[in-house]
């Protein structure tokens, strides 16, 4: 961050910064609002649901303060553009365009993943919310995943569902192509040491270039990270907890 030595982030390293929303005091929110660009402020003010509005504000503050940890640039200096699919990337400062990031938020938790010169995606979900896995799986999963969710015992089924859900979201976000990717064109195998991705001809990609991790940062949250790095070695992934702009 400005005034401090920038953190080093080598190619193949990923840091995921986490903020527990209940830890953010009310006094910090006006400071977060001051960091927003004009378009961000306009979007923030359009949120009608207070919880979603708060997630957006904390998420933008986490993103801006996180990026400034790796560059000599103030939090307000970051300018973002979007690719043709609506995926954001760093436009300014121009010298920091190799910083790649992805942001995710859910009830109670915000996450920001950062790397250099690689593809990265992160997804967090609150697993305490009510979901019918058998009803929802056919609308968002591939046949192999649907069958596995159905075969999982009722007491484990919801967690299995969220394992697939977060992994699929993290991959989609890392690719930066949104829902132009067919949800049934790729699937995951979960029974090995680490999740493995497979592809059908409708979603061409190479399994070997992807690395996935899953974590349970709190008892009610599941997190998945997708990383494709320039080097053919597994990335180093670190999770860090922070309250943006908090002191002490």
Looking at residue 6, what is its pLDDT? 87
Strands 236-241 and 221-228: unpaired
Looking at residue 183, what is its pLDDT? 95
Looking at residue 248, what is its pLDDT? 56
Residues 6+ positions from 135 with CB-CB distance below 8 Å: none
Model confidence pLDDT, tens digit, residues 97-111: 999 999 999 999 999
Q: How much of the chain, in percent, has pLDDT values that exceed 90?
A: 90
Looking at residue 154, what is its pLDDT? 96
- Predicted model pTM: 0.95
Residues 6+ positions from 89 with CB-CB distance below 8 Å: 80, 81, 82, 83, 97, 100, 101, 176
């Amino acid at each position: 961050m400005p005034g401090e030595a920038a953190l080093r982030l080598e190619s193949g390293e990923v840091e995921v910064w986490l903020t527990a929303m209940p830890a953010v005091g009310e006094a910090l929110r006006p400071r977060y609002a001051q960091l927003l660009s004009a378009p961000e402020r306009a979007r923030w003010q359009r949120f009608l649901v207070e919880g979603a509005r708060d997630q957006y504000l904390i998420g933008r503050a986490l993103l801006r303060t996180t990026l400034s940890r790796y560059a000599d640039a103030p939090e307000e200096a970051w300018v973002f553009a979007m690719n043709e699919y609506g995926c954001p990337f760093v436009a300014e400062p121009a010298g920091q365009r190799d910083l790649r990031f992805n942001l995710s938020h859910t009830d109670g938790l915000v996450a920001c993943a950062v790397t250099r010169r690689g593809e990265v995606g992160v997804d967090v979900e609150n697993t305490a919310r009510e979901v019918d896995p058998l009803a929802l799986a056919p609308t968002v999963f591939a046949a192999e995943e649907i069958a596995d969710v159905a075969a999982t015992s009722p007491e484990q089924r919801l967690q299995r569902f969220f394992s697939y859900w977060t992994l699929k979201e993290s991959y989609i976000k890392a690719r930066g192509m949104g829902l132009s990717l067919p949800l049934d064109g790729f699937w995951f195998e979960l029974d090995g040491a680490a999740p493995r991705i497979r592809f059908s001809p409708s979603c061409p990609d190479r399994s070997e270039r992807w690395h996935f991790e899953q974590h349970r940062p709190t008892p009610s949250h599941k997190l998945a990270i997708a990383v494709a790095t320039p080097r053919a070695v597994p990335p180093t992934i670190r999770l860090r907890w922070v309250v943006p702009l908090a002191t002490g």
